[in-house]
Amino acid sequence: MSIKIFAASVFVSFALSTQAHADFLSDSKATLGMRNFYFNNDNRDGTAAPSKTEEWAQGFMLDFKSGYTDGTVGFGVDMLGLLGITLDSGKGRHLGSTMIPSDSDNRAVDEWSRLGVTGKVKISKTELRYGTLIPKLPILAANDGRVLPQTFQGGQITSSEFKDLTLIGGRIEHATGRGSTDQTGLAAVGGTRESNQFDFAGGDWKVTKDLTAQYYYAHLENYYTQQFFGLIHTLALSDNQSLKTDLRYFKTDSSGENSSGTSGYRISGFTENGDGEIDNRTWSAALIYTMGGHAVTAGYQSVSDGSNFTQLNQGSLADKGAGGSSLYLYTDRMIQNFTRAGERTSFGQYAYDFAALGVPGLKASVIYLSGDNIKTKSGDNQKEWERDTSLEYVLQSGALKGVGFGWRNGKSNSEAARDQDQNRVFVSYSISLL
């Protein structure tokens, strides 16, 4: 795969738009997103490699979204062209990379690319999509924490036929990691055997203008079934003050081969009987108080001690670039996610939007998390903490209007993992083509 494939995706996108029906064309949109990303992860202790991963890359993302043909049943197509170019890396600094694919000599490749196509059909307020998907759901969220995003292959149907109710369901069959060009099957963390069936269904119900209720069900064949319950309420205190309450609960149980402890379908980390079987209950509560440009978050999360919290994660499969996942949890941070068996985590965050001081586009935040009561194979009642800082600015005017700059720094100390310091620096820009 090469730059030629990326260029071809641009040509095909425009060719489709110019030959299609008028509504298909007039409602079409195309953007070219660019992201320059520097990643530095420094392991502060332990003798195992790598001690440090340091890389710099440039990413391009061409996102074409067509309109729909006219009629009761509308048809359309979306295309996603992704290209990554390595700017700086090295065999010693590439080891353990989660951003750039490796060649046969375990060095960073010079460039990598992939093309995703998604067909879509729309009837009334119901849409069916099949092909490349980037889901953002409580039971499955694609990871976009590096230069290129993680993508999935499958089908999804979304319906808003009923007022204040959005229903979603579908099946995912393959994944492509953020640092890879190859599709893999699906797995849970630690699983080395692939599953090709992740079924999900659920929805969001806007009970009132201030209260939203959520329920989702997911099943990863031969690994687990998961149910999610969520409540989000926003209380307006005044014109510029509000209090948001966010409650989340996950119930995850073993399924199929994982229930029998079959080798290859077992998960890693602590399990109650040492058999790699999934058995977890995780709940969290967060309060977010907002006043003007200030936002203060305080929360608590509890993970049961049957096993670690579990969702899709292809990091243990043979493809080294398949790893990387996101969780619908406040504790899913830069380095740790605080989801080990038995873990109890308290967290607090302060964020400020400088638009309140007349500097629109500038935002900053800092979060601190502290977890204890961790159970691992090596011991009980272990502890860990993490502190993350973020500073971002988007230019509001001039020739470079829309260019975004960001810096994120994370520091983690853990008795259950290696101590780490991490820095991410990125510059992003998006150009509208249609």
Contact 144, 323 (CB under 8 A): no
Same domain, 179 and 292: yes
Question: Cβ neighbours of residue 314 under 8 Å, at least 6 residues apart?
Answer: 175, 177, 184, 185, 186, 187, 322, 323, 325
Two structure tokens written together for 259: 């229930």
The answer to whether the Cα torsion of 196, 198, 199, 204 is positive or negative is negative
Do 53 and 128 belong to one domain?
A: no
Q: How many domains does the chain have?
A: 2
Q: Are residues 115 and 171 in the same domain?
A: no
Count CB neighbours of 66 within 10 A: 27
**What tokens appear for 247 in the block?**
């409650």
* Residues 6 or more apart in contact with residue 40 via CB below 8 angstroms: 52, 53, 54, 422, 423, 424
Please report, in tens digits, the pLDDT of each residue of the chain (434 residues total): 444 444 444 444 444 444 445 577 888 999 999 999 999 999 877 777 778 899 999 999 999 999 999 999 999 999 999 999 999 987 778 887 889 998 888 889 999 999 999 999 999 999 999 999 999 999 999 999 999 999 999 999 999 999 999 999 999 999 999 999 999 999 999 999 999 999 999 999 999 999 999 999 999 999 999 999 999 999 999 999 999 999 999 999 999 999 987 889 999 999 999 999 999 999 999 999 999 999 999 999 999 999 999 999 999 998 878 888 999 999 999 999 999 999 999 999 999 999 999 999 999 999 999 999 999 988 889 999 999 999 999 999 999 999 999 999 999 999 999 999 999 999 999 999 98
Q: Which CATH number do you get for residue 377?
A: 2.40.160.10
Its domain, for residue 315, covers 120-432
CA 168/CA 152 separation, integer angstroms: 16
Q: In this structure, are 61 and 105 located in the same domain?
A: yes
Write down which residue in 94, 119, 144 finishes a domain.
119
18 and 165 belong to one structural domain: no
What is the C-alpha to C-alpha distance for residues 187 and 394, in angstroms, rounded to an integer?
A: 37
Q: Count of CB atoms within 10 A of residue 367's CB?
A: 21
Kindly state whether residues 69 and 137 are assigned to the same domain: no
What residues are paired with 191 via a beta bridge? none
- In DSSP notation, 75-109 reads EEEEEEEEEEEEEE--HHHHTT-SSS-B-TTSPBP
Residue 222: count other Cβ atoms within 10 Å of its Cβ. 24
Tokens describing residue 222: 């031969």
Cα angle, residue 89 at apex, residues 84 and 91 outer, rounded to 5°: 120
| Nearest alpha carbon to residue 255 among 227, 292, 232, 282 | 227
DSSP β-bridge partners for residue 40: 54, 423
Same domain for 176 and 316, yes or no, is: yes
- If asked whether residues 100 and 196 sit together in one domain, one would say no
Which tokens in the block code for residue 345?
């985590």
Would you say 363 and 353 are in contact if contact means Cβ atoms under 8 Å apart?
yes
Residues 340 and 298 placed together within one structural domain of the fold: yes
Are 148 and 46 found together in one domain?
no
Among candidate residues 87, 119, 151, the one where a domain is terminated: 119
Residues 241 and 383 in one domain: yes
Instruction: Tell me the helices (H) and strands (E) count for the chain, helix number first.
Output: 3, 21
Residues 83 and 204 in one domain: no
> How far apart are the C-alpha atoms of 285 and 178, rounded to whole Å?
30
- φ/ψ of residue 165, rounded to 5: -130, 125
The pTM assigned to this predicted structure is 0.92
Locate the DSSP E strands across 292-360.
Answer: 294-303, 344-353
- Domain final residue, candidates 102, 119, 136: 119
